[in-house]
Amino acid sequence: MKTTPTQFKSGYAAILGRPNVGKSTLLNRLVMQKIAAMSRKPQTTRNKILGVVHLPGGQIILIDTPGIHDSSIRLNRMMVEASLSTLKDVDLVLFMIDAERGFLPEDQDIAEALSRAEVPRLLIINKIDRVAKPKLLGLIAEGDGKGVFSDIVPISALKSDGLDRLQELVLSRLPEGPMYFPEGMVTDCPEEFLISEIVREKIMNLTHMEVPYSVAVVVDRVEESEKGTWVISVTVYTEKASQKRIIIGEKGAMLKKVGTQARKEIEKRFGTRVYLSLFVKVKTHWREDERSLKQFGYYHDSYQDR
Ligand SMILES: Nc1nc2c(ncn2[C@@H]2O[C@H](COP(=O)(O)OP(=O)(O)OP(=O)(O)O)[C@@H](O)[C@H]2O)c(=O)[nH]1
Ligand SMILES: [Mg+2]
């Protein structure tokens, strides 16, 4: 008997949710490469980050987004704008909560914003490795009660638990469509962006209090030497001289640690030898300044003061 070939499915799916629920961890797991910065601190992701999942029957184009939160800081409002702006051009929304923390009041606001989007919405309950069954069942019932979600999928992004089922479900909800990205292409992010995020992630993980939040990272130059080594210079901007001192550390120890960790990861990511120089500069109040936000790639034209 002749079987009709199943149609190729493809589309864009945005991962949305509060900070720190595990959105970037899921993106990295599904594309099987580390493209988005991850950390234990909230507000790690600042831009939309695209990752392509290539499957036999289709292509899922994931958009990782900054965590949605309330803030008076302009940078943070730009971040939230980046997240909400994805709603108008995706085929599917993956709304993620952290099983341990459950639904918080802010989630209700996000769920309402989502209910206005005219695309299917999946609820992902992440970090199920951290909770007992009864709590999970309670969350599933609570999610169901909201009446906004077409499916509810419990997963552990960290332990790669439930991800096959999630992929299948996402694919089943996507329309028939073309292969948007060629096989082997995992992201459309430029190399400079990926490098700057690797450096920023190391700073996020190695520093504390307000320091990780005061930092922007710009790749000034990537040149290939005759022997094929990538010679990279990066500027790390902070808001205050005191933060600059912390990033540099005693006799340069902190900057050295950041540099070594970042270099190793860049070498692994791009399969090349790397010579990395880091410079630290102060740019007062850059997080409030339109020109700096533009220079660092955080400005959104669609943003309006509300
Ligand atoms: N136990 C456990 N931890 C997880 C899981 N998924 C992510 N995490 C941890 O949660 C923290 C936040 O992960 P991220 O992926 O950076 O979270 P995010 O939602 O992208 O955060 P923002 O970019 O700040 O919005 C990290 O320490 C992850 O290791 C999980 O399934 N189980
Ligand atoms: Mg993130």
CATH number at residue 139: 3.40.50.300
- The per-residue b/e assignment along 258-289, b for 16 or more CB within 10 angstroms, e otherwise, is bbebbbebbeebeeeebebebebeebeebbee
pLDDT for 6 equals: 74
Q: What's the mean pLDDT in 271-293? A: 97
In this structure, is residue 81 part of a structural domain?
yes
Entry pTM: 0.96
- Looking at residue 46, its amino acid is R
The rounded Å distance from CA 66 to ligand 1 centre is 12
pLDDT for 117 equals: 84
Number of independent structural domains in the chain: 2
Q: Name the phi and psi angles at 162, rounded to 5.
A: 85, 5
CB 99 within 8 A of CB 154: yes
pLDDT for 301 equals: 75
- Looking at residue 48, its amino acid is K
Which residue has a Cα nearest atom 1 of ligand 1? 127
Give the residue from 135, 136, 95 showing the smallest Cα distance to 117: 95
pLDDT for 114 equals: 85
The rounded Å distance from CA 228 to ligand 2 centre is 32
- Looking at residue 91, its amino acid is D
The rounded Å distance from CA 40 to ligand 1 centre is 7
pLDDT for 8 equals: 96
Shortest-distance atom of ligand 1 to CA 19: 25
pLDDT at residue 1 is higher than 60: no
Q: Which two tokens stand for residue 149?
A: 């979600």
Shortest-distance atom of ligand 1 to CA 40: 27
CB 195 within 8 A of CB 234: yes
The rounded Å distance from CA 194 to ligand 1 centre is 19
pLDDT for 249 equals: 98
Give the residue from 171, 176, 174 showing the smallest Cα distance to 5: 176
Q: Do 54 and 147 have their domain in common?
A: yes
In this structure, is residue 180 part of a structural domain?
no
Q: Do 201 and 162 have their domain in common?
A: no
Sign of the Cα torsion 85, 90, 95, 96 reads: negative
> How would residue 306 be classed by pLDDT, with cut points 50, 70 and 90?
very low
Q: Do 155 and 236 have their domain in common?
A: no
Q: What's the mean pLDDT in 13-20? A: 98
Ligand number with the minimum distance to the CA of 100: 1
The pLDDT tens digits for 189-240 are 999 999 999 999 999 999 999 999 999 999 999 999 999 999 999 999 999 9
- Looking at residue 88, its amino acid is K
The rounded Å distance from CA 259 to ligand 1 centre is 23
Which residue has a Cα nearest atom 7 of ligand 1? 22
Shortest-distance atom of ligand 1 to CA 155: 31
Domain with 228 in it: what CATH number? 3.30.300.20
280 sits in which H/E element? strand 274-282
The rounded Å distance from CA 205 to ligand 1 centre is 13
Q: Do 131 and 206 have their domain in common?
A: no
Q: How many helices (H) and strands (E) does the chain have?
A: 9, 9
What is the maximum alpha-carbon separation in the chain? 75
Question: Which three-class secondary structure state does DSSP give residue 228?
Answer: coil
CB 34 within 8 A of CB 44: no
Give the residue from 36, 60, 28, 65 showing the smallest Cα distance to 166: 60
Question: Any residues with Cβ below 6 Å from ligand 1, and which?
Answer: 19-25, 38-40, 42-45, 66-67, 126-127, 129-130, 156-158
Question: Which three-class secondary structure state does DSSP give residue 62?
Answer: strand
Domain span including residue 99 = 9-173
CA separation for the pair 184, 187 (Å, rounded): 9
Of 109, 140, 173, at which residue does a domain stop? 173
Average pLDDT, the chain: 95
In this structure, is residue 184 part of a structural domain?
no
CB 95 within 8 A of CB 123: yes
In this structure, is residue 305 part of a structural domain?
no
pLDDT for 11 equals: 98
CA separation for the pair 75, 16 (Å, rounded): 18
Q: Which two tokens stand for residue 252?
A: 């340069």
Q: Do 112 and 163 have their domain in common?
A: yes
Q: Do 48 and 149 have their domain in common?
A: yes
Kind of pairing, strands 216-224 and 230-238? Answer: antiparallel
> How would residue 109 be classed by pLDDT, with cut points 50, 70 and 90?
confident
In this structure, is residue 301 part of a structural domain?
no
Kind of pairing, strands 9-17 and 58-64? Answer: parallel
In this structure, is residue 304 part of a structural domain?
no
- The per-residue b/e assignment along 32-51, b for 16 or more CB within 10 angstroms, e otherwise, is eebbbbbbeeebbbbbbbbb
The pick from 15, 38, 63 for probing ligand 1's pocket by mutation, whose C-beta has the most ligand atoms within 8 angstroms, reads 38
